[in-house]
Amino acid sequence: MTVVVTTATEAELSELADVAAQTFPLACPPTVTADNIEKFVAANLSAQRFAGYLDDPDRAVFVAKRDGRILGYAMLIRGVPDDPDVQLAVTVRPAVELSKIYVLPQVHGGAVAAALMDAAVGYARDQRAECVWLGVNKENQRAQRFYTKHGFTVSGTKSFHLGAGVEHDYVMVRTL
């Protein structure tokens, strides 16, 4: 079956939020508390939040579907935040952040994540970015292998606040 990647729409917000709530915990190390995950999901991955993301001209949200069902999504943000660690790690400009790229566990290792990555890189090129960057938890080796396979290299580190906890991420960059 073919994977189709499209820009997310308002009609998909509920399903998108459900997929986000299912997939975000998969990227968290075992030390992250369920409470911190729940708070992050409620604050950042609700249908209402995704509606705001769709309205933000500096963001793009893509969904990957098969047979009309969302299997994963990616969110990109133009630019580099003021975070000094990210500023040091992302030296190529203009840049686009691959803020989120998650797929349901039953499609890990398949074409869904690769199709989303292709859409993300295509979006960055369309924005005339010189690089795509992302943060990935230092313990998430599976994701690191995926990003390395798609041309990303570690260029620094940053902290990520997850509820009451602080996680430590690698910053990975792919030049275009």
| Parallel/antiparallel/unpaired status of strands 59-66 and 165-175 | unpaired
Q: What is the pLDDT of residue 154?
A: 98
Place of tokens 């500096």: 58
Phi, psi of 50 (to 5 degrees): -65, -35
3-state secondary structure of 61: strand
Burial (0-12, 13-18, 19+ Cβ within 10 Å), 161: exposed
Six-digit token string for 171: 């910053």
Per-residue pLDDT for 1 more than 80? no
Helix and strand counts by DSSP (H, E) for the chain:
6, 7
Q: How confident is the model at residue 160 (pLDDT cuts 50, 70, 90)?
A: confident
What single string gives the DSSP state of each residue in 102-113?
EE-GGGTTSHHH
Question: For residues 40 and 164, what is the distance between their CA atoms, to the nearest angstrom?
Answer: 10
Tens digits of residue pLDDT in 65-118: 999 999 999 999 999 999 999 999 999 999 999 999 999 999 998 899 999 999
Mean pLDDT, residues 32-54 taken together = 96
pTM for this prediction: 0.96
In the chain, what are the domains?
4-175 (3.40.630.30)
What is the predicted pLDDT for the residue at 40? 94
162 vs 49 pLDDT, higher one = 49
Report in angstroms the alpha-carbon separations of 115 from 5, 107, 122, 162. 7, 12, 10, 28
Q: Cα separation of 32 and 162, whole Å?
A: 8
- pLDDT by residue (tens digit) across 3-21? 999 999 999 999 999 999 9
Alpha carbon 53 to chain centroid, angstroms: 13
